[in-house]
Amino acid sequence: MLPTASLVVADTEDEGVIHDLSQHGCRIETPCPIHVGQHYRLILQLSSSSTPLLIANARVCWKSQQQFGLAFEHVDPTQQAQVRATIQQLARLPQK
């Protein structure tokens, strides 16, 4: 299973696949309409059995076709630690 993300803005929730997760952001692939500069609450789901990771504020910084880059803004220390742990978990997954 590829890691997935729920992108929440106002009352709308969209889904995407996470790529290139780092401490400062990630790339997401989704067919949903996305606009540069838009802010999202991001819920990262590493696997069906893992606890979701919440990034309260992420901004779209670029878009190309069905992919876009998110920059994490105002990430508190607890979230930073969770992102680091998630990156370590992803590094241990088999590559496809």
Q: Which regions in the chain score pLDDT beneath 50?
A: none
In sequence order, what E strands does 1-96 have? Answer: 4-9, 12-19, 25-29, 39-45, 53-64, 67-72
Per-residue confidence (pLDDT) for residue 1, from 0 to 100: 55
Q: Tell which residue, 35, 36, 51, 64, has the closest CA to residue 3.
A: 51
Determine phi and psi for 79, rounding to 5 degrees.
Answer: -65, -40
Cα-based distances in Å from 12 to 16, 33, 38, 42, 79: 13, 11, 13, 12, 23
Which pTM value belongs to this model?
A: 0.80
Per-residue confidence (pLDDT) for residue 26, from 0 to 100: 92
